């Protein structure tokens, strides 16, 4: 997988995490599903965990963008993948 493909995958992952965060904020962190007489409770991951995942993904995107643009830390170009 190329770095450009990894970047696209990370951006998609970030969009999915943002949607997950919006869903947690809109519906809460747990809910009940009913199928006829059967009821089960679904518990989602915590908002704090989703926020940590979002922050980590944003850092990976930033690092990979720097790598692709040739702007590495301290002006040194880093070869290789961020992931």
Domain locations in the chain?
A: 3-75
What φ, ψ does residue 68 adopt, rounded to 5°?
-70, -30
pLDDT tens-digit map of 32-61: 666 666 666 666 567 888 899 999 999 999
Asked if residue 72 lies in contact with residue 66, where contact means CB atoms within 8 angstroms, the answer is yes
What φ, ψ does residue 38 adopt, rounded to 5°?
-80, 135
**Whole-structure pTM value:** 0.65
């Amino acid at each position: 997988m190329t770095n450009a493909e990894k970047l696209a995958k990370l951006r998609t992952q970030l969009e999915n995490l943002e949607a997950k965060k919006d869903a947690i904020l809109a519906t809460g962190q747990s809910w009940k599903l009913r199928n006829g007489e059967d009821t089960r409770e679904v518990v989602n991951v915590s908002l704090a965990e989703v926020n940590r995942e979002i922050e980590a993904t944003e850092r990976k995107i930033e690092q990979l963008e720097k790598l692709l643009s040739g702007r590495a830390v301290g002006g040194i170009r880093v070869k290789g993948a961020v992931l």
